[in-house]
């Protein structure tokens, strides 16, 4: 890929697959939930770094539709950790003018956790200094299937005609149609796969992968990956 030095061409939207909590815990001789707790601390640092870098949208892959298959112990622990994360960080996020959002099949989230989540979304809905988006109970295929289902209902109701369905219309049925596609997708832990994440949206995203496990991912490494993105020349298939 061609390069160009343009430090001003920063990504508007960064999406991150936060991978490696379990392996980090095993390496440190700790429980899985302690690995997730350390991962939550890393998320706090990256949220701050993203705001400092002027990134408008940060999407974190927090919990996939497939993660519901994990043990009840781990799932319950992750939901409790999410509740704690929101309680401990919401006031700061709100003070900094960041809008808290979530995408996914949120109806699957336990009612107590979902109420805390929705209250945070409502409290920050008027903020305009940045967007923190949690992909929660999220799957890229599920999002596309849900969009197709909504379109089918609107066709049957006569709201749209089949001939009107194109990429632009389809996008309007996604979970967050107003959010621009990610410019940069980061995956930690060295795995070379996208794990059913933002399948529609990452068509032309730049992808950077680090061997660093998520709990060890630092603000400095994040900043360097953003700088690496800034050095890339994006062609979108045009030449």
Catalytically active residues, by annotation: 19, 67
Angstrom distance (rounded) from CA 212 to CA 221: 9
Q: What are phi and psi of 205, to 5 degrees?
A: -70, 145
Phi, psi dihedral angles at 21 (to 5 degrees): -60, -45
Helices H / strands E in the chain, number of each: 7, 6
Distance CA 60, CA 187 (A): 10
Q: Is the dihedral of CA 122, 61, 42, 233 positive or negative?
A: negative
User: What is residue 232's DSSP assignment?
Assistant: B
| 8 A C-beta contact, residue 33 and residue 74 | yes
Burial (CB count within 10 angstroms: exposed 0-12, middle 13-18, buried 19+), residue 220: exposed
Helix (H) or strand (E) holding 76: helix 72-95
Q: Measured between alpha carbons, how far is 145 from 198 in angstroms, rounded to an integer?
A: 13
């Amino acid at each position: 890929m061609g390069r160009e030095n343009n430090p001003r061409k920063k990504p508007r939207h960064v999406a991150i697959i936060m991978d490696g909590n379990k392996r980090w815990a095993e390496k440190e001789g700790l429980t899985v939930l302690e690995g997730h707790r350390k991962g939550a601390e890393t998320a706090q640092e990256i949220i701050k770094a993203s705001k400092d870098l002027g990134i408008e949208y940060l999407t974190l892959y927090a919990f996939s539709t497939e993660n519901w298959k994990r043990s009840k112990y781990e799932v319950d622990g992750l939901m409790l950790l999410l509740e704690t994360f929101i309680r401990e960080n919401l006031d700061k996020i709100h003070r900094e003018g960041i809008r808290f959002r979530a995408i996914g099949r949120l109806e699957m989230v336990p009612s107590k956790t979902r109420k805390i989540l929705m209250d945070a979304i409502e409290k920050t809905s008027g903020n305009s200094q940045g967007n923190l988006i949690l992909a929660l109970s999220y799957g890229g295929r599920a999002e596309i299937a849900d969009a197709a289902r909504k379109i089918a209902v609107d066709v049957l109701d006569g709201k749209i005609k089949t001939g009107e369905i194109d990429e632009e219309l389809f996008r309007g049925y996604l979970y967050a149609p107003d959010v621009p596609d990610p410019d940069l997708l980061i995956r930690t832990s060295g795995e070379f796969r996208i794990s059913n994440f933002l399948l529609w949206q990452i068509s032309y995203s730049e992808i950077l992968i680090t061997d660093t496990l998520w709990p060890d991912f630092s603000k400095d490494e994040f900043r360097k990956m953003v700088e690496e993105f800034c050095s890339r020349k994006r062609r979108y298939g045009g030449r």
